[in-house]
A = this chain, B = another copy of it.
């Protein structure tokens, strides 16, 4: 079984690449997001994790597909949670089942 991992683009890289391709400065994007440029700088270098609200704003400001960026964001968090576990596969299988369960048994309160 051959494994092809070319490169794993981090969420910070995705954001920085898009910002630079649009020719925008940190302070310009930061102003649009209503945050300090220092925070955005750290996010782009993966020194700080963006929260969900920021992800949504970023997808709008930088015209990145919202679902794409959200998926990156959440999977990042998950990978971080289970990175040091030796039962990651099992955990993900279980999580899948639980998500299915929560979907079909969605509580509406």
Taking the closest CB of chain B, its distance from the CB of A8, in whole angstroms, is 4
Q: CB distance B92 to A92 under 8 Å?
A: yes
Query: What secondary structure prevails in chain A residues at the interface with B?
Result: helix
Q: Report if A71 contacts B (CB, 8 A).
A: yes
User: Inside 8 A of A81's CB, which chain B residues have their CB?
Assistant: 74, 77-78, 81
The distance in angstroms between the C-alpha atoms of A104 and B87, with both chains bound, is: 15
Say how far A43's CB is from chain B's closest CB, in angstroms.
17
B residues in contact with A85, CB < 8 Å: 70, 74
Interface set, chain A 52-91, CB cutoff 8 A to B = 67, 70-72, 74-79, 81-83, 85, 87-91
Residues of chain A at the chain B interface (Cβ within 8 Å): 3, 5, 8, 67, 70-72, 74-79, 81-83, 85, 87-92, 94-105
